[in-house]
Structures are given as structure tokens and as C-alpha cells.
Chains A and B, each alone.
Chain A
């Protein structure tokens, strides 16, 4: 249990650092592009400010990633002993992608005025693309745990290993797509929220408003696209991991016209959900595109293979709820662009986005909880149980406490640093604001 908590904690932090680290370079590239095209100084300032954010998150993402590559073995030696050769392929490619990202970032951060302007811009873009590629590869490794392929298990030994097939396991595409869009949505809303706060406080309005617009449009588009990938993912889960789907939906009883359960408190002992809204047939429709086909419920799955229903169900509801909220914000934002340009200066509009700062990441964490907790008790779906994979070393909970302290300190310092970066914006980047904007 301590091992699982430590892993969850490390991944939970890594997911935030790396999402920001892989998405922010794109924001940076956009504002850099605008600067190169329009020549307005404010865009260069934004680019420089963001590039420092990228550097901070890249470094923390890189160390938390290094830690994870060790923790896999430190905590799950049995799992790695068998699974390493099968699902390790994306990791070795991820190493390459990540290395390129590090090199490109070196060029980018230290390359102002040294290189051709467009070469410099391209290195910034490469940071984003290679970051995204590593993200996709890591998710592909995780999706293998959900839909293991590329080997045969005969009498306890793993034979006929095919790492390429394992990498392109059936779930890799749906999971990677879902995660990438989620990263864009979460980072977009988080960055936009911070800048909205600064606009609302009337600090360096021009600087923060333009930053807000770039970040928000990424977040908005991603949020509006996410339901499509969510649907693909859900169908994949239904096919490969019926227990997980049933736990997500708190779906205990297999029956035709399976209902979609909204909210409610699952009662695992009596196998029912209290205080929920049920939409008959909707679950069947979402999974099979017709209202009648029964969706496999937990009653058809042996008790010892049940994931923790309550946690999975709540996490899923949170994810979907926040996703809906982000979509609503997206619609408002698009309206603001098309029809109501004056909304941008309205307090309520900014406040909405300020309030939305953390929701993307809460949704990401919730979604990740769904996929990990929903897979329990398996570490490799249907092949190896988590309990059989854990390290034999006693006293893991001390290590868990230690890492908890480390990660919390780390996040506090990161937040502190960003706060100082933002606080210093007037000093560093706003030398001649009056010349820049005339409205």
C-alpha cells in the first residue's frame, strides 16, 4: 500500500510537471512567432517570461522523471523483471525524444541573438514536439498495462516477446490522444487563469491580456475536442477492461438498457448506488451506439477482480464534470471572440477563468486515478496482480513519507518561483509599456 501511494504520489506530481513542460513550449512558440511576424516587443517579453517557466518545469519534470525510472524498480522489481523487456520499448524511444528536447531547450534558452531568428524559433518548436512525443510514448507504456499484448504467458514464463507489438497495443492510441488533449486543456486553462488574475488586478494589462489570449485559445480548443477522445477511450475500456468501466460508472447490474449513473454514492457491500440520477439506456448507447445492448456489470466479474468502485466512480465523475465545465467556458470564450469583444475586460469573465485555473489539472489527476485505480487489483490487466509485483523490502512506508515531504517541498518551491517570476514582470519586461499599447 505504501509502495502504491509512493508511486501514485510521484506520478501525480510528474504528470503535472510534464504536462506543463510539454504544452507550454507551444504557447511560447506561438508568441515567439507573433513577435517574429509583428515585431511587437511585448510578444518577445511574453516569450522570454514563458521560456523561464518552461525551463523550471522542464527541470522539475526531468528530475521527477529520472526518479520514476528508478522507482519502477525500487518499488515494483517483480513487475519490471517480467514486464521490462516487453513494454520497455517506448521508454527507450522516450529517452531519445527527451534527449532531443533537452538539447533543443539548451539551444532555445541560450540562443537569443546567437542564431538565425527562425532557426531559434524552430528549436523552441522542437522542444514542444519532442516533449509531446515523450508524453505519447510514456502513455503508450502505461496503456500496455491496461491492454497487455506482444507476449505469451505459458506456465508462469513470458515467451514470444514482441516489444513493437507491445508498444502499439490496442489502447495506445486512445489513451495517448486523450492524455495529450487533456494536457493542452489543463495547461491552457491553468496558464490562462494565472494571467487572467493579473489582468483582473490591473497589472501589466497588455502583457497579461495577450498571454491570456494565447493560453486560453489552446485550452478552449482542447476542451471542446476532448469529448471525442473520451468517447473513443471509453469504448476501448469497455472492450478491454469491463471491470474498470463498470467501476467508473458504478454499474453493478448487467441488464439491457443499461443506465448511465450520474453522481451518487456507491454502496459496494449492497451493490447499489444511492442518491444517483439514472439515465436509462444511455450507458448502452455510449458504449454500443444503441440503447438496448447490455453493458457488463460488476455482477458478472468475480469479486476478487473488482477495482475499488467508490474511488473510481468519484474520480470519473469529477473528471467528466470538470471537463464539462471547461467546455462551457470554451463556448463562452468563443462567444467572446466572435460577438462580445467587450467581455474580455469584464470582471465576471476574468473571474470565471481565474476560478478555472486548477480545474484542468484536477481533471487530469482524476482521470489518471480512474485509469490506475480502475485497473486494480491488477498491475498488468489480467496477467499480474499488484500485490505480487511489489518489492520485498520492509519499511517502504518510511520511503513514502520521505518522498511525500520532498515532493511537497518541491511544489511549494516551484509555486514560489513562479510567483516571483510573475511579480518581477513589471521590472524585467515592462520597461516602456506606454509606447506599446495605445488603446
Chain B
């Protein structure tokens, strides 16, 4: 049952990264879109994510609940030492979610819309940035349980080159995902070309920030190169991701819409896999060389069992309904309908 729970944890993180990431990415793209194209970008985006965005945060909540029910020590340590970036991320989530709802449900359309948009795009950028920072900090070995001053314990635990670089890497991945996703939602050639260009920019940004992550890791003495390339599986995953990326660009030029989404999702899976595989089951690495492990720091057996059952039963209810939701809105293009709902 422990493994069921761990798989759920990993899958919900992945789904949050992919689906939530595409969501955030839409805001990031909007942030970097020239003013005259903004409203068009926004319209396409809203039609695409409107019906399912409410569901996306659930993946994060599920991951958090799994952590605090099943692995309370890990949850408690992270939320103590990464208090500040978690708080910033939370504020981002609040601002983003509410701004998106408000701009859709404000009955009057006036200047308030501009304010909602501004909040929306900036928080769309900040949230994944800090999500990445948190993920980076967990493995950067900067969490210092023996720290005796504020800065060491609560600031440098996350404020370092490596974590921040991972933050930017995450944000550009989100932008990339969104651009790829939205290519499939466009209606004419101009729109399509503009999203392909955005996808290319985000791709370059992801590669560059990825390179910065590696540079930062050597600067901070984190054996990232060895983690990723030090074994066969890591190399294989990275190669697969690279091959699929080449394939993806080839298919885009051939005008494919949906298969490229699968490929982009596959790349995310490979990235998350490579970054977690070598650490498993140690998900938090501490400064003193110790670590927190999903195996050693798990909760009571009965709890893990009940949690696993709850997750399994829950997915029986949730997954079919979720697929039906997505499918029924895919089935026919209800653009006009969704706009005036």
C-alpha cells in the first residue's frame, strides 16, 4: 500500500506539473505577448482552459494531503524551513485563481478587467517560479536543521542559485506546455504561427534556464550532473526526452495538433522522472548530509493503508467523471456557447 500512495503522490505531482503547468503557462505567455495581440491570446486561452481549470489545483491539494497524512515529518520539515517560498506560492495561487474567476464573472466589463489581467499574468509567473524554487530547495541540501539564525534557517534554505534557476526552468516549461497546448486550439493560420513562435521562444528559454541549472549546481556543489547522467536510466530518459522534442518540432511543421500535446506531456514525465528517480525515496536532502525518506519517514501502517484505500476509491469516482468532462467539451467545439454561458 505504501507504493500505491507513493505512486499517487508522484502522479498527482506530474499531473499538476502538466495540467496546472499549462494553466500557469497560459498566463506566462500572456505576460510576454505584445499588447495588440493580448486579447486574442486571452480569448483562445480562456476557451481552452475554462471548463477544467477548477480541477487543476486539486492535484496539488492531493499531493499535499498525501504528504501530511502519510509523511508528516517531511511535510512538517518542508513547511517550517521553506515557509517563505511556500507563502509566496500560496499568495500566487490565491491571486491567480481569484483574478481568473473575477475576470470571467464580473458582470460589468470595464477597467477592472485590466487590473484582473495584470494580477493574473504576474501571479501566473510567480506561482510556478516558486513551485520550482521549492522543489529545487528540497534536494539542494540547504535545509539546515541545526541553523541557529533566521537567515540560515529560513532564507538560504531556498534563496540560492540552484533553487532559483530551477524556478525559472519550471516557469519556462509551463510556458512551453501552454504554447504547445494552445497551438491545437487556434482557428486560423496567423494565430497558429504566433503560438508556434511562442512555443519556440519558450523552448529556448527552457533550454537556457536548464543550462543555468547545471551551471548553478556545480557552483553550489550539488552533484546534479552525476544524478542525471550517472546511470543508464537517467541517460535513457534524457535521450528519450530529446528525441521526442525533435519529433515534436517535426510534427508541428507537419501541422499536427494533438499528438504534439502527448509528446510535450511525455517530456514533462521524463524530466520529472529523471529528477526524482535518483533521489527516490529520499525527497528532502538536508545540509548535514541526512535526508528525509518516503520509506523511513512514513506514517503509521494503518494510516498508509487507509490513505491508499481512500485514494483508490476516490480515483474510481473521479477519473471517469474527469475524463467525461474533458471529453464532452472536446467533442464539439462549443466556443460560442462557452463564451455566453
The answer to whether B254 has its CB under 8 Å from any CB of chain A is: no
Are A92 and B307 interface neighbours, CB within 8 A? Answer: yes
| Residue in A80, A113, A395, A421 whose CB lies within 8 Å of B75 | A80
Name which of B28-36, B196-204, B232-240, B308-316 contacts chain A: B308-316
Which residues of A are found within 8 Å of B102, using beta-carbon distances? Answer: 56, 413, 417
A413 to B65, CA, bound (A): 29
Interface residues of A in 158-211 (CB under 8 A from B): 159, 161-164
A102 to B57, CA, bound (A): 10
The answer to whether A59 has its CB under 8 Å from any CB of chain B is: yes
Are B73 and A81 interface neighbours, CB within 8 A? Answer: yes
How far is the CB of A58 from the nearest CB of chain B, in Å?
A: 7
Which residues of B are found within 8 Å of A406, using beta-carbon distances? Answer: 91, 94
A340 to B97, CA, bound (A): 46
| Residue in A70, A162, A391, A392 whose CB lies within 8 Å of B90 | A70
| Residue in A95, A106, A428 whose CB lies within 8 Å of B61 | A95
A371 to B98, CA, bound (A): 30
Which residues of B are found within 8 Å of A92, using beta-carbon distances? Answer: 65-66, 69, 307, 310-311, 314
The answer to whether A114 has its CB under 8 Å from any CB of chain B is: yes
Are B68 and A84 interface neighbours, CB within 8 A? Answer: yes
| Residue in A59, A391, A424 whose CB lies within 8 Å of B54 | A59
- Contact pattern, A 70-98, Cβ under 8 Å of B = 1, otherwise 0: 11111001101111111011011101101
How far is the CB of B97 from the nearest CB of chain A, in Å?
A: 4
The answer to whether B215 has its CB under 8 Å from any CB of chain A is: no
Are A63 and B325 interface neighbours, CB within 8 A? Answer: no
Number of A-B residue pairs at CB separation under 8 A = 209
Are A84 and B299 interface neighbours, CB within 8 A? Answer: yes
**Known A63-B93, A99-B314, A102-B55; contact A413-B299, beta-carbon cutoff 8 A:** no
| Residue in B68, B93, B318, B329 whose CB lies within 8 Å of A100 | B318
Are A391 and B101 interface neighbours, CB within 8 A? Answer: no
Question: Residue of A at shortest CB range from B334?
Answer: A114
The answer to whether B306 has its CB under 8 Å from any CB of chain A is: yes
Most chain A C-beta atoms within 10 Å of own C-beta, residue among B65, B68, B94, B317: B68
Are A73 and B306 interface neighbours, CB within 8 A? Answer: no
How far is the CB of B311 from the nearest CB of chain A, in Å?
A: 7
Are A112 and B341 interface neighbours, CB within 8 A? Answer: yes
A110 to B51, CA, bound (A): 7
| Residue in A56, A66, A88, A391 whose CB lies within 8 Å of B303 | A88
Most chain B C-beta atoms within 10 Å of own C-beta, residue among A391, A393, A399: A393
Are A393 and B154 interface neighbours, CB within 8 A? Answer: yes
Are A80 and B313 interface neighbours, CB within 8 A? Answer: no
**Known A103-B325, A114-B328, A410-B94; contact A162-B68, beta-carbon cutoff 8 A:** no
A99 to B56, CA, bound (A): 9
Are B299 and A85 interface neighbours, CB within 8 A? Answer: yes
The answer to whether A67 has its CB under 8 Å from any CB of chain B is: yes
Are B299 and A67 interface neighbours, CB within 8 A? Answer: no
Are B314 and A93 interface neighbours, CB within 8 A? Answer: yes
The answer to whether A52 has its CB under 8 Å from any CB of chain B is: yes
Are A395 and B150 interface neighbours, CB within 8 A? Answer: yes
Are B302 and A163 interface neighbours, CB within 8 A? Answer: yes
Which residues of B are found within 8 Å of A34, using beta-carbon distances? Answer: none
The answer to whether A60 has its CB under 8 Å from any CB of chain B is: yes
Which residues of B are found within 8 Å of A104, using beta-carbon distances? Answer: 321
Most chain B C-beta atoms within 10 Å of own C-beta, residue among A85, A115, A159: A85
The answer to whether B76 has its CB under 8 Å from any CB of chain A is: yes
Which residues of B are found within 8 Å of A89, using beta-carbon distances? Answer: 69, 303, 306-307, 310
**Known A91-B69, A391-B80; contact A63-B300, beta-carbon cutoff 8 A:** no
Are A392 and B80 interface neighbours, CB within 8 A? Answer: yes
Are B303 and A163 interface neighbours, CB within 8 A? Answer: yes
- Contact pattern, B 90-120, Cβ under 8 Å of A = 1, otherwise 0: 1101100110111011111000000000000
Which residues of A are found within 8 Å of B2, using beta-carbon distances? Answer: none
Question: Residue of B at shortest CB range from A56?
Answer: B105
Which residues of A are found within 8 Å of B104, using beta-carbon distances? Answer: 55
**Known A92-B69, A164-B306; contact A114-B79, beta-carbon cutoff 8 A:** no
| Residue in A72, A114, A391 whose CB lies within 8 Å of B68 | A72
The answer to whether B87 has its CB under 8 Å from any CB of chain A is: yes
How far is the CB of A351 from the nearest CB of chain B, in Å?
A: 27
| Residue in B72, B98, B108 whose CB lies within 8 Å of A84 | B72
Which residues of A are found within 8 Å of B252, using beta-carbon distances? Answer: none
- Contact pattern, B 322-341, Cβ under 8 Å of A = 1, otherwise 0: 10010011000010011001
24 intermolecular pairs with C-beta atoms under 8 Å apart? A55-B101, A59-B54, A63-B98, A66-B61, A70-B90, A74-B79, A74-B86, A85-B72, A85-B299, A91-B68, A92-B310, A95-B58, A96-B313, A99-B58, A99-B322, A104-B321, A105-B54, A107-B328, A114-B337, A391-B80, A406-B91, A417-B105, A417-B107, A420-B107
**B residues near A, CB below 8 A?**
50-52, 54-55, 57-58, 60-62, 64-66, 68-70, 72-73, 75-80, 83, 86-87, 90-91, 93-94, 97-98, 100-102, 104-108, 150, 153-154, 299-300, 302-303, 306-307, 310-311, 313-314, 317-318, 321-322, 325, 328-329, 334, 337-338, 341
Q: Report, nearest first, the 3 A-B pairs whose CB atoms are least far apart.
A: A88-B69, A73-B79, A85-B299
